[in-house]
């Protein structure tokens, strides 16, 4: 059984003010897509070299408290032979692991999806922990239309998230609970708020049912914003106000930290929106980030798979980490983007 002090120590390491998480847990198909944008083949060595670039960035631990790794990456080693989990820990960054096995269509609910991966999870946690993982992540996805997500999808995904979180805590590993309401579609910000509130309400209901200790989880939600195809795109002020309103209605104060996903927002937008929320008065939880593409796009485009570009790419990553660290304190200065 995971001890209270073990989980507490991990949570405290993750929710340091002015720090957030780097999501580097892209699955095979996703990393191939990212590499496609720079014309690079997704070979195991290229994936290892890229993750090595990210994790060996000097000074990254000043703004990044944890990194979410993919199963393959957890087993890989840095250029000097150090396992990646150890390299992260050496730089003051807590190593974590994505444990879900992806989404499939939810039976008899057209358009809805459910996340797989509960079978054998307790056994897998034993291995992940031996490899150095101290926290985990499970993502549930919700498509928005006028009729989606359906009630069965909201309930089934909440139950899976809660079961995962309970198994994780039992293993002594802090669970990140990630219910992502997708920004794909032409829905309004009001529809996004309505769905996000229903989803989060159900998730916390399930966590309570499964006796998950709220003080030892992190929530990784999507921000509340209009669909990407909606004619009226949301302003930063609207996103901050609507997102905080929904979170205050659904997330107990016992939850120590909320780390947003970027979900397809541009790096600059993701930073500005987080900053705006932290400026709206002190929230009851530590409000920070767990960004994938919004942290990685600049370094990836700078690197282009060339060893000679590694230094510049690492500077690009450090800059985004620094700006997001400032946003997590409500101290982001957009003029810094140009520097």
What is the C-alpha to C-alpha distance for residues 243 and 199, in angstroms, rounded to an integer?
Answer: 13
Beta partners for residue 180, in sequence order? 141
Which class for 253: exposed (0-12), middle (13-18), buried (19 or more C-beta within 10 A)? exposed
Is 160:114 a contact under the CB 8 Å cutoff? yes
Is 287:258 a contact under the CB 8 Å cutoff? yes
Is 93:66 a contact under the CB 8 Å cutoff? yes
The token duo for 179 is 């219910």
Is 101:73 a contact under the CB 8 Å cutoff? no
Q: Is 77 a catalytic residue?
A: no
What is the C-alpha to C-alpha distance for residues 269 and 283, in angstroms, rounded to an integer?
Answer: 20
Q: Is 190 a catalytic residue?
A: no
DSSP codes joined into one string, 157-195: HHHHHHHHHHHHHHTT-EEEEEEEE---SS--HHHHHHH
Active-site hit among 19, 98, 137, 220: 220
Is 270:262 a contact under the CB 8 Å cutoff? yes
Q: Where are the beta strands (DSSP E) in the chain?
A: 20-24, 64-69, 94-98, 103-105, 113-115, 135-142, 174-181, 218-219, 257-260, 286-291
| In the block, residue with structure tokens 């490899």 | 131
Contacts of 287 (CB under 8 A, 6+ apart): 257, 258, 260, 274, 277, 278, 328
CA distances from 321 to 11, 107, 145, 255, 268 (A): 20, 40, 34, 23, 12
- Say if residue 334 is preceded by a cis peptide, omega within 30 of 0: no
Active-site hit among 19, 113, 137, 178: 178
The catalytic residues are 178, 220
């Amino acid at each position: 059984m995971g001890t209270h002090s073990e989980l507490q120590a991990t949570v405290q390491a993750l929710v340091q003010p002015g720090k957030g998480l780097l999501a580097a847990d892209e699955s095979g198909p996703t990393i191939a897509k990212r590499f496609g944008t720079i014309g690079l083949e997704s070979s195991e060595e290229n994936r290892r070299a890229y993750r090595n670039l990210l994790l060996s960035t000097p000074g990254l631990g000043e703004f990044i408290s944890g990194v979410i790794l993919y199963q393959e990456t957890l087993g890989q080693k840095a250029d000097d032979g150090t396992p990646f989990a150890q390299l992260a820990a050496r730089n003051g960054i807590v190593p974590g692991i994505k444990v879900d096995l992806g989404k499939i269509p939810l039976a008899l609910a057209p358009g809805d999806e459910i996340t797989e991966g509960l079978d054998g999870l307790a056994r897998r946690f034993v291995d992940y922990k031996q490899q150095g993982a101290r926290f985990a992540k499970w993502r549930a996805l919700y498509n928005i239309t006028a009729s989606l997500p359906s009630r069965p999808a909201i309930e089934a995904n909440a139950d899976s998230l809660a079961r995962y979180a309970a198994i994780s805590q039992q293993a002594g590993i802090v669970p990140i609970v990630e219910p992502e309401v997708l920004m794909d579609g032409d829905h309004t910000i009001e529809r996004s708020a309505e769905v996000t509130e229903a989803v989060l309400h159900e998730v916390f209901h399930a966590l309570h049912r499964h006796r998950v200790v709220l003080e030892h989880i992190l929530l990784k939600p999507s921000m509340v914003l209009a669909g990407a195809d909606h004619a009226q795109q949301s302003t930063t002020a609207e996103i901050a106000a609507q997102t905080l309103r929904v979170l205050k209605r659904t997330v107990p104060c016992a939850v120590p930290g909320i780390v947003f996903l970027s979900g397809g927002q541009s790096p600059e937008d993701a930073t500005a929106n987080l900053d705006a929320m932290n400026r709206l008065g002190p929230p009851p939880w530590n409000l920070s980030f767990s960004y994938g593409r919004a942290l990685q796009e600049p370094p990836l485009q700078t690197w282009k798979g060339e060893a000679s570009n590694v230094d510049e790419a690492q500077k690009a990553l450090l800059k985004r980490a620094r700006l997001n660290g400032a946003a997590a304190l409500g101290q982001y200065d957009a003029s810094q983007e140009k520097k």
